[in-house]
Amino acid sequence: MTIEFNGSPATTLGVELELGLVDRRTRALTSASNELLDRLEACGEATRAKVKHELFQCTVEVITGVCRDVAQARADLGASLAAVRAVTDSLGVELVGSATHPFTSWRDLVVSPEQRYADLVESIQWPARRLAIHGVHFHVGVPTGRHAIAVVRSLAYHLPLFLALSASSPYWSGQDTGMASSRTKVFEALPTAGLPPRLAGWTEFEQLMDGLLRARVIASIREIWWDCRPHPDFGTVELRMCDGLATMDEVAALAAMAQALVTELVERVDTGEPLPDAPEWVVRENKWLAARYGVDSSFIADERGERRPAGDLVEELVERLWPVASRLGCAAELADVPRLLDEGPSYARQRRVVDDGGTLADVVDLLAAEHREGLW
């Protein structure tokens, strides 16, 4: 099986942002996406095309076009969100970006009226019904399938840092899970989710997809839900690891880290320089540590089992990527990544509300306010 990779001439950027729709009075998730999307028709086709249904009617996805840099992506998202918020304000609905809602149960959610979602639930059943989760995906352009496979393999090594910084799902159905990212464990229940396999090259990727399609494990390549994956149609590597991000400040910071990192890895492929990597067991354990403890963890740094604080590794990665980010024009956004260590990712900010005597409804109020106002 031959799969054409529509390579990108530059490391362009695209962002997919999933958002929960919350009733302003009850603070619970509300099935408002149908009315929201219907009303957005009045804003014109260009705006409506960038706001989409997700699996449940309490969620929408907002996407960018192909952007040259983080500033353009943020402006693109900002224009779409302004149109969305004009409608949600009139509906008495707030937007929240966290990866789970603090107390709404997945049992109460209504599937969106698209056949592919009905098919998904019918095929996967209970694991699909529990997908009351939100994430943020970053697409970064790469030139060839050969680059994509090499970048995905090395990107997997860095994924736990993205997860730790984005973790925003400590609560599930009204309970503190003890996790920084409960979404990670919910999503891993899907049959093709999780870390990407360690492939040697594009031919091996083609062979794997051919086998999965012939065995009817998947109906299309779109049903490969790895934490990062090649996207042949877009000519990108897609980083899918991040929990939903509560603010546009965080979206921009991690978009800068993603674009700079993929750009650096592509350049290493071109020069023949080795790409950072680690044994699979190290990557898998670090993903667990990020999901459990977030940035409060210490990660396994090498195959000898040495541990280092996650914060130290984040700061070293930012320093390593700084020259690339400066060339890409996203150094200012990358500089906000260490600020997340000081402010605390969303899981920590949510727990502070409860630790200070607040309720889970107060946590929802925090999330709604952060999405409107930002972190800084």
Question: Is 2 among the domain residues?
Answer: no
Whether 330 is covered by a domain: the verdict is yes
In a domain, 129, yes or no: yes
- Can you give the residue range of the structural domain that contains 160? 13-373
Answer whether residue 1 is part of any domain: no
Residue in the block written with tokens 């159905």: 173
Token readout for 91 is: 């509906």
Inter-CA distances, 262 with 139, 160, 192, 304, Å: 10, 15, 23, 27
Domain assignment present for 4: no
The pTM (predicted TM-score) of the whole model is 0.97
67 closest CA partner among 240, 254, 255: 255
Q: How far are the Cα atoms of 58, 237, 358 from residue 231, in angstroms, in the given order?
A: 27, 6, 43
Alpha-carbon gap, residue 332 to 132, rounded angstroms: 33
Which regions of the chain does DSSP assign to beta strands (E)?
13-23, 51-53, 59-63, 93-96, 135-141, 171-172, 175-176, 193-194, 225-226, 228-231, 236-243, 298-300, 307-309
The two structure tokens encoding residue 245: 């991000």
Structure tokens at 254: 């991690």
Could you tell me if residue 146 is inside a domain? yes
Domain presence at residue 8: no
Q: Which residues contact 156 (CB under 8 A, 6 or more apart)?
A: 195, 196, 198, 227, 228, 283
Asked if the structure places residue 3 within a domain, the reply is no
> What's the total number of domains in the chain?
1
CATH classification of the domain holding 365: 3.30.590.20
Digits of tens for pLDDT over the chain (376 positions)?
999 999 998 899 999 999 999 999 999 999 999 999 999 998 888 888 999 999 999 999 999 999 999 999 999 999 999 999 999 999 999 999 999 999 999 999 999 999 999 999 999 999 999 999 999 999 999 999 999 999 999 999 999 999 999 999 999 999 999 999 999 999 999 999 999 999 999 999 999 999 999 999 999 998 999 999 999 999 999 999 999 999 999 999 999 999 999 999 999 999 999 999 999 999 999 999 999 999 999 999 988 999 999 999 999 999 999 999 999 999 999 999 999 999 999 999 999 999 999 999 999 999 999 999 998 7
| Three-state DSSP state, 129 | helix
